[in-house]
């Protein structure tokens, strides 16, 4: 263990990783530890490149730990004519079933059609047929057409007045933050060096490569790294990174979690609000409700769920399930995230394309943004193909579609992707093998108890004690970690 100037003890692998990043010329430095950066680090490392990845906060603490957690082709994009995106995402959904089976839970969606809605039954019927054609699901997951009675059986409590029937199609539920962590574990196993709490502050051309100024935010120390190529995968921050040529339009989306007894769904339901669609997604004994889509004009920062966002989601749910009568007191937990969309001033937030963009306007510098959690592997593959051209030396083919992530296929998905039992072993593993530095790294992202368990404060107390033993925290540090964690769920504003 190494004692840093702030007297926080760091696990030894972190300081060793920082030493490697400082030491010599990397082939690639990836900036951003969300799903896109993690995917790029994994792909490049599997092709034999020397890779460093720096993340300013915690891995998956940006958008990639705040999504709807769906691996999906995006049925609604069909209505916008974005067939290519649907096809790509549909294929990637199947790849993820193969390489991340422990984080891929097939989930049926009931999409009801009400009289007078912009989503009439004929349109839904045609939509799911095309969806099947583009996404090629296994036979057991082909779409079906339901009459109103069948729809009510699968989605009890659905508004009956004007209900014309429904369609039923399949996508999959995942755990977004775990997907990032497991992708990074795979990257690290292939030789990538990944460091959280390390921010890129500046970068300048240096001979044939780049010299990058980093800040270790755990100790406050400055360091430099040299790399032949740099990839900016900073998500919502990507247009603020030095040398970036990206222009983003950020939109905020929120999710609420309620107990499943308050909305006893057998399957997921697509809830419509005029042209917009929201989801009610069963997650073990809970239901995830969301999402909204509103412009976020400011810098990325820390988006919060505001009372207006919460009321907007609850109003849609209560319109679709009139007897549910959900109110603010039913909300067990919530999160808000920012979509890093490629700037397009035309149309409302929901109309902006979810396609990704890759730019390389200076030698050895690549910017990447947009896309979806579902399409991260595809984006990573395209970026690393570009890197390979730049780095030369005999191109190696992408292997990420065939190499399973750690945990797959040995670990079947826990029932409904429920978080693990609260246990010291889980916490020890998070600290020793998964780079957890703070209490909220475990509660929110590694284990996910924060969003699932109503007794999370009591759990946090126990976890802080276990982390204290593991990391050598004193009483003051433990109290500071609990304060920091409580700040995460200040009441909805
Ligand atoms: C509400 C919502 C719902 C969504 N639902 C889905 C869904 O169900 N399915 C789906 O496929 N997609 C979904 N998405 C989209 C998906 O979540 C995003 O496309 C994806 O997570 C973006 O990943 P990323 O790696 O680009 O960004 P991020 O996850 O934000 O990662 C970027 C990282 O870069 C770091 N960083 C920034 N600046 C620096 C710096 N200077 N130095 C070091 N690190 C830095 C940040 O801290 C951050 O962790 C959803 C998005 C939102 C907002």
Q: Give residue-wise pLDDT tens across range 57-96.
A: 999 999 999 999 999 988 888 888 889 999 999 999 999 9
Q: Is residue 315, in this structure, part of any structural domain at all?
A: yes
- Nearest CA-CA partner of 228 in 388, 23, 21, 29: 29
Q: Is-contact 280 317, C-beta < 8 A? A: yes
Q: Which residue has the tokens 């035309």?
A: 346
149 and 6 within one domain: no
Whose C-alpha lies nearest to ligand 1, atom 19? 372
Q: Is-contact 47 384, C-beta < 8 A? A: yes
Ligand 1 centroid to 33 CA: how many Å? 9
Q: Which two tokens stand for residue 8?
A: 């926080």
Q: Which residue has the tokens 């004692």?
A: 3
Nearest 5°: phi and psi at 290?
165, 170
Q: Is-contact 250 341, C-beta < 8 A? A: yes
Ligand 1 centroid to 400 CA: how many Å? 20
Note the pLDDT of residue 71. Answer: 97
Give residue 491's pLDDT band: very low, low, confident or very high (50, 70, 90). low
Note the pLDDT of residue 239. Answer: 96
Q: Is residue 440, in this structure, part of any structural domain at all?
A: yes
Note the pLDDT of residue 56. Answer: 98
Rounded Cα distance between 39 and 180, Å, is: 8
Domain's final residue, options 349, 366, 401: 349
Rounded Cα distance between 15 and 3, Å, is: 10
pLDDT digits (tens, 9 = 90+) for 325-342: 999 999 999 999 999 999
pLDDT digits (tens, 9 = 90+) for 246-291: 999 999 999 999 999 999 999 999 999 888 899 999 999 999 999 9
343 and 261 within one domain: yes
pLDDT digits (tens, 9 = 90+) for 211-232: 999 999 999 999 999 999 999 9
Ligand 1 centroid to 433 CA: how many Å? 22
Whose C-alpha lies nearest to ligand 1, atom 35? 32
362 and 330 within one domain: no
272 and 239 within one domain: no
256 and 243 within one domain: no
pLDDT higher than threshold 60 for residue 6: no
317 and 371 within one domain: no
- Nearest CA-CA partner of 383 in 22, 8, 2, 35: 35
Q: Which residue has the tokens 């963009």?
A: 357
Whose C-alpha lies nearest to ligand 1, atom 3? 67
DSSP string, 296-325: --S-SS-----HHHHHHHHHHHHHHSTTT-
Q: Which two tokens stand for residue 462?
A: 């126990």
Ligand 1 mutation target, pool 242, 291, 372, most atoms within 8 A of CB: 372
236 and 214 within one domain: yes
Q: Is residue 254, in this structure, part of any structural domain at all?
A: yes
Q: Which residue has the tokens 């849609």?
A: 316
Q: Is residue 299, in this structure, part of any structural domain at all?
A: yes
Task: Give residue 41's domain range.
Answer: 2-64+177-247+353-391
Q: Which two tokens stand for residue 405?
A: 């992530």
Note the pLDDT of residue 2. Answer: 32
Ligand 1 centroid to 432 CA: how many Å? 25
Rounded Cα distance between 72 and 52, Å, is: 30
- Ligand 1 atom nearest 57 alpha carbon: 47
159 and 253 within one domain: yes
SS3 217: coil
Estimate to the nearest angstrom the gap between the alpha carbon of 245 and the chain centroid: 24
Name residues whose C-beta falls within 8 Å of residue 61's C-beta, 6 or more positions apart in sequence: 55, 444, 445
CATH of the domain at 206: 3.50.50.60
- Ligand 1 atom nearest 198 alpha carbon: 43
- Ligand 1 atom nearest 70 alpha carbon: 8
CATH of the domain at 338: 3.30.9.10
Residues counted in the chain: 493
Rounded Cα distance between 171 and 70, Å, is: 7
**DSSP tag of 30:** E
SS3 421: coil
Q: What is the overall mean pLDDT for the chain?
A: 93
Whose C-alpha lies nearest to ligand 1, atom 2? 67
Ligand 1 centroid to 453 CA: how many Å? 24
pLDDT higher than threshold 80 for residue 5: no
Ligand 1 centroid to 70 CA: how many Å? 14
Q: Classify residue 329 by burial, with Cβ atoms within 10 Å: 0-12, 13-18, 19+.
A: exposed
Ligand 1 mutation target, pool 184, 196, 216, 237, most atoms within 8 A of CB: 237
Q: Is-contact 302 203, C-beta < 8 A? A: no
pLDDT higher than threshold 60 for residue 12: no
Average the pLDDT over 168-197 and give the result. 97
Ligand 1 centroid to 236 CA: how many Å? 7
On the question of a cis peptide bond just before residue 409, with omega within 30 degrees of 0, the verdict is yes
Q: Is residue 94, in this structure, part of any structural domain at all?
A: no
Please compute, for residue 358, the number of CA atoms within 13 A of its CA located in the half-sphere on the CB side.
19
Domain's final residue, options 299, 331, 349: 349
pLDDT digits (tens, 9 = 90+) for 339-359: 999 987 667 777 677 889 999
Ligand 1 centroid to 338 CA: how many Å? 7
Ligand 1 centroid to 284 CA: how many Å? 24
Give residue 1's pLDDT band: very low, low, confident or very high (50, 70, 90). very low
SS3 119: coil
- Ligand 1 atom nearest 89 alpha carbon: 11
Average the pLDDT over 313-326 and give the result. 97
DSSP helix, strand, coil percent of the chain (3-state; round to 5):
40, 25, 35
Rounded Cα distance between 60 and 323, Å, is: 36
Q: Is-contact 241 55, C-beta < 8 A? A: no
- Nearest CA-CA partner of 267 in 158, 118, 372, 114: 158
Give residue 7's pLDDT band: very low, low, confident or very high (50, 70, 90). very low
Percent of the chain with pLDDT over 90: 84
- Nearest CA-CA partner of 36 in 79, 7, 11, 67: 67
Note the pLDDT of residue 490. Answer: 64
Q: Is residue 335, in this structure, part of any structural domain at all?
A: yes
Note the pLDDT of residue 3. Answer: 32
Note the pLDDT of residue 298. Answer: 87
- Ligand 1 atom nearest 291 alpha carbon: 1
54 and 158 within one domain: no
Structural domain total, the chain: 3
381 and 331 within one domain: no
Ligand 1 shell residues, CB under 6 Å: 31-37, 54-57, 61-64, 66-70, 72, 199-200, 233-237, 241, 253, 291, 337-340, 371-374
Q: Which residue has the tokens 């996404």?
A: 135
SS3 344: coil
Q: Which two tokens stand for residue 2?
A: 């190494």
SS3 136: coil
242 and 117 within one domain: no
259 and 164 within one domain: yes
Whose C-alpha lies nearest to ligand 1, atom 4? 67
């Amino acid at each position: 263990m190494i004692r840093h100037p702030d007297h926080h003890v760091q696990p030894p692998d972190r300081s060793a990783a920082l030493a490697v990043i400082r030491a010599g010329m990397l082939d690639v430095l990836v900036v951003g530890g969300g799903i896109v950066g993690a995917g790029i680090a994994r792909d490049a490392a599997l092709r034999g490149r020397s890779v460093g990845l720096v993340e300013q906060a915690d891995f998956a603490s940006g958008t990639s730990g705040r999504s709807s957690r769906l691996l999906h082709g995006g049925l609604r994009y069909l209505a916008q004519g974005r067939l290519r995106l649907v096809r790509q995402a549909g294929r990637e959904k199947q790849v993820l079933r193969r390489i991340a089976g422990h984080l891929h839970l097939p989930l049926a969606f009931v999409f009801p059609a009400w009289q007078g809605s912009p989503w009439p039954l004929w349109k839904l019927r045609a939509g799911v047929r095309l969806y099947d054609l583009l996404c090629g699901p296994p036979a057991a997951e082909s779409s079906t057409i339901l009459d109103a009675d069948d729809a009510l059986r699968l989605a009890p409590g659905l508004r009956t007045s004007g209900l014309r029937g429904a369609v039923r199609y399949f996508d999959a539920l995942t755990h977004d933050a775990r997907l990032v962590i497991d992708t990074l574990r795979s990257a690290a196993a292939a030789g990538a060096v990944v460091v959280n709490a390390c921010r890129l502050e500046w970068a300048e051309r240096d001979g044939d490569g780049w010299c990058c100024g980093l800040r270790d935010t755990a100790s406050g120390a400055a360091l430099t790294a040299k790399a032949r190529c740099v990839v900016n995968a900073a998500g919502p921050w990507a247009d603020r990174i030095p040398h970036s040529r990206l222009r983003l339009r950020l939109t905020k989306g929120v999710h609420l979690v309620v107990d499943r007894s308050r909305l006893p769904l057998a399957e997921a339901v697509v809830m419509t609000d005029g042209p917009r669609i929201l989801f009610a997604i069963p997650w073990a004994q809970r239901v995830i409700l969301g999402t909204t889509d509103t412009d976020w004009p400011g810098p990325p920062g820390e988006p919060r769920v505001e009372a207006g966002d919460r009321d907007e989601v609850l109003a849609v749910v209560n319109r679709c399930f009139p007897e549910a009568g959900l109110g603010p007191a039913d909300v067990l937990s919530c999160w808000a995230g920012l979509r890093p969309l490629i700037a397009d001033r035309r149309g409302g937030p929901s109309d902006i394309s979810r396609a990704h963009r890759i730019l390389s306007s200076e030698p050895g510098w690549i910017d990447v943004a947009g896309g979806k959690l579902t399409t991260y592997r595809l984006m990573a593959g395209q970026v690393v193909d570009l890197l390979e051209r730049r780095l030369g030396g005999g191109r190696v083919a992408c292997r990420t579609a065939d190499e399973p992530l750690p945990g797959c296929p040995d670990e079947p998905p826990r029932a409904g992707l429920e978080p693990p039992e609260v246990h010291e072993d889980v916490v020890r593993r998070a600290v020793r093998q998964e780079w957890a530095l703070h209490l909220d790294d475990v509660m929110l992202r590694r284990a996910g108890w924060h969003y699932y368990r109503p007794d999370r404060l009591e759990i946090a107390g126990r976890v802080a004690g276990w982390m204290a033993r593991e990391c050598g925290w004193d009483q003051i540090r433990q109290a500071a970690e609990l304060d920091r964690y409580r700040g995460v769920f200040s009441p909805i504003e």
